[in-house]
Amino acid sequence: MGPVRITSTARKHKLSNRRIREALATSVFIEMDGDMAIYQGTDITGLDIELGIVKDDRGPGYAVVHAMPMKWRNR
């Protein structure tokens, strides 16, 4: 996938960089939402996390711009 940067907007749901990277390592592609790819992965505690990833505008690689626990999806 290349280098991945985690943005501050991805952390607004209080998920740490570590948890986001763990979920990213186990993630599977779900769908495209415009230019954002939506993935779902699980961290080592078993928390399912939805990830939104786009091409990084600051350089080569990608940026995680959205990370949210899946249990919050259908609140």
Pair type for strands 36-42 and 48-55: antiparallel
The domain in which residue 11 lies consists of 4-72
Query: For the whole model, what pTM was predicted?
Result: 0.89
pLDDT of 1 > 70? The answer is no
At 72, the pLDDT band (50, 70, 90 cuts) reads confident
Q: How does 5-30 read in b/e, with b if 16+ C-beta sit within 10 Å? A: ebbeebeeeebeeebbebbbeebeee
pLDDT of 12 > 70? The answer is yes
d(CA 29, CA 13): 21
- How many separate domains does the chain show? 1
For CA atoms 64, 35, 9, 60, give the dihedral sign.
positive
